[in-house]
Every structure is written in C-alpha cells, then in structure tokens.
Structure 1
C-alpha cells in the first residue's frame, strides 16, 4: 500500500519521491500564484490582464512533452 501510494508513480516517471514532491510543489505553487492573480484581476481588471493564461501556456509547454501513462485519481 505504501509503495503504491508514495513510490510507484515517481518511479514510473523516473523520479525519486523527493524529486517528484519538489516538481509537484513547484507546479502547485505556480498555479496558486496564478490563481491569486486571477482573483485580483477579477476585482481590478486593469491588473494581471494575462497572468492566468500566461501561466497556463508556460506550464503546458513544460508538462505536455511528458508522456505519462499513469491514471490520475
């Protein structure tokens, strides 16, 4: 059970648990910042006009080339 939950997926993508944790937290942090900028943009439309879409495009460029055959649940 521990192996399946914590080690199987990182191993499948050729990362250690720590490497995978770092990468996932990096993506999550970037999405969190982009999300906050989107909320600010909603309140003040003149600010962060393209922050959300810029973050999505940049992350897609980095993540799309990865070919993972792992289910996400």
Structure 2
C-alpha cells in the first residue's frame, strides 16, 4: 500500500487526488502531442496548440504547488501564519 501512497503523501495529496491530477495532466499532454504531430503533417493546423498546452500545464502546476505550499504553511502555523520573532 505504501508503494501507492508514498509519493502522493510527499507532495501533500491523497492517492485519489494524485490520480486525478496526474491523469488530467497526462491526457492533456497526449492531446497536445497529437496536435503537434498533426501540425507536423499540416503546418497550417494547430499552429499554437502545443505551446499553449505546455504553458497551461506549467501554469497549473505552479498554481497547484503554491496552493499546496500555502495550505501546508497554514496547517503548520495556524491562522496567524509564521512569525519571525517570539515573545
């Protein structure tokens, strides 16, 4: 069981959350790759689809990472956040 949960837990996700996110990323990569292959054959088709797919996936990954980091920070320090000083 740990084989399936170790990596998701290391990035703050459950197995199900990781499954959904990773599957969604993979499906979008396949679709973007197919568009690139078609573009190779038909240069007038899908001129920006590949680069737009990569940019969108990158933005989603960064946003997801930032949200996960913020949630982890909030759970560690509570509602008041992290302090650089103590009384």
Provide the TM-score with structure 2 as the length reference.
0.69
Q: Could you say what the CA RMSD is over the residues aligned between the two structures, in angstroms?
A: 1.7
Q: Which stretches in structure 2 are left out of the alignment for 5+ residues?
A: 67-87
More helix by share: 2
- Please identify runs of 4+ aligned residues in structure 1 that moved more than 2 A: none
**Computing the radius of gyration over CA atoms, which structure comes out larger, 1 or 2?**
2
Q: Which runs of 5+ in 1 are unaligned?
A: 68-73
The alignment of Structure 1 onto Structure 2 pairs a total of residues equal to 66
* Relative contact order, higher structure (CA 8 A, sep 6+): 1
User: TM-score scaled to structure 1, two decimals?
Assistant: 0.81
